[in-house]
Structure 1
Amino acid sequence: MIPIAPIFIKSKETLERLSLLLDEERLAYGELDSETIINLSEEKQTLLDEMNQLNEKRVNILIKFDVVDRKEPSEEDFKKWLSLQDSSMDEVRLLMKDCEALLKKCKTQNNTNARILNTLQKRNKHLYELLQGHSSKNKVYTARGSTRPISSKHTLGRA
C-alpha cells in the first residue's frame, strides 16, 4: 500500500487553516487593519509553501511507486490509477475529494478577497488624488502618450 493518506490528511488540515485565514483576511479588509492584513499575508504564504511541499512529497511518492510518469507526472494519471484500486484506498479517495472541495472553496475566498482589495486600492487612489487636487477628468497626454493629472492650485493640503 502506498503511504499517501497521511499526506492528504495533512493537506486537508492545511487547507482548512487556509480557509479560516482567508475569512480573517476578509474581516481585516473590512476593518482596514493594515497590521493584521500584513500578518495574515505572511501566514497565508507559509500555508501555501506548506501545501507546495506536501504536493511535492505526494508526487515523489507516486513516482517512487510507479503510479505516475517520472518525467511528466499528472493528476489525471493518479486519479485514473486511484479509480482502479480496491476498497482499501477508499480513505484516500474521500480525503482527495475533501481536499479538492476545500481547494475550490479557498480559491473562491481568495478571489473574493482580491476583489475587495482591488476596490479598496481604487478608493484609496481616488482619495489620494482628491487630496492632491487631481481629478480623473483633468488629465493631459505626455509626449510618450501616457496621461498625467493636471495639478490644481486649490488642493486640500493648501486650504
Structure 2
Amino acid sequence: MVPLAPLFTQMKENLEKLLEVLQCERRILATATPDDILQLSSEKQALLDNIDTANEKRTKMLIKFGVIDAKDPSDHAFKEWLDAQPKMEDVKQLVDECNILLDQCKKENFTNARIITTLRKRNKTLFEMLQGHNRKNKVYTSKGNTHPVSSKHTLGRA
C-alpha cells in the first residue's frame, strides 16, 4: 500500500495555514503596513515551499510504486488509480479537501492581487500628481516613447 495519508495530511495543513495567511493579508492590505505585508509574504513563500516539497515527494512516491509514469507524471493518472482503490477512503477525502482548500487559496490570492494592483495604481497616480505630471499631457520622444509633460506648478514645489 502507498503511504499517502501522512503526505496529504501535511499538504492539507499547509493549505489551511496558507488560506489563513491570505485572509490575514487581505485585512492587512486595508491598512497597507509595509512591514506586516513583508512578513506575510515571507510566510506565504515558506508555506508554498512546503507544499511544493510535499508535492514533489508525492510524485516521487507515486513513480516509485508504479502508480504514475515517470516520463509523464499526470494528476489524471493518479486520480484514476485512486478511484480504483477500495481501501483508501481517507486519502480520497484528504485529496478532495486539499483540492477545495487549493481553490479557496487561489480565489483569495486573486482577490489580494486585485487589491494590490488597485493600490499600486492609486499610489502611482498620487505620486504623479505630487510631481506635477498629468497622464493626459504626454509628448513623444525622439525614440518614439512617451513621457509626461511637467507642470510649473507642482504640489512638491508649493
Bin of the TM-score, shorter chain as denominator length: over 0.9
Aligned equivalent of 1:16: 16
Deviation at 1:144, TM superposition (A): 2.2
| Conserved? CA contact 1:5–1:91, under 8 Å | yes
Which aligned runs of 4 or more in structure 1 are off by greater than 4 angstroms?
none
> How do residues 1-159 of structure 1 correspond to structure 2 at under 5 angstroms?
1-86=1-86, 88-159=87-158
Structure showing the higher strand proportion among its residues: 2
| Conserved? CA contact 1:11–1:51, under 8 Å | yes
Name the CA distance, whole Å, in 2 between partners of 1:34 and 1:3.
Answer: 42
% identical equivalent positions:
53
SS in 2 for 1:149: strand
Encode CA deviations 1:41-68: one digit per residue, 9 max, x unaligned. 0110010011000000000110010000
Encode CA deviations 1:102-121: one digit per residue, 9 max, x unaligned. 00000000000000000000
| Conserved? CA contact 1:22–1:110, under 8 Å | yes
Unaligned runs of 5+ in 1: none
Encode CA deviations 1:121-156: one digit per residue, 9 max, x unaligned. 000000000000001111111222221001111111
Name the CA distance, whole Å, in 1 between partners of 2:42 and 2:143.
Answer: 39
Encode CA deviations 1:13-38: one digit per residue, 9 max, x unaligned. 00000000001111111011111001
**C-alpha RMSD of matched pairs (Å):** 0.6
Aligned partner letter, 1:75: D
Unaligned runs of 5+ in 2: none
Residues matched between the structures, number: 158
Name the CA distance, whole Å, in 2 between partners of 1:19 and 1:143.
Answer: 49
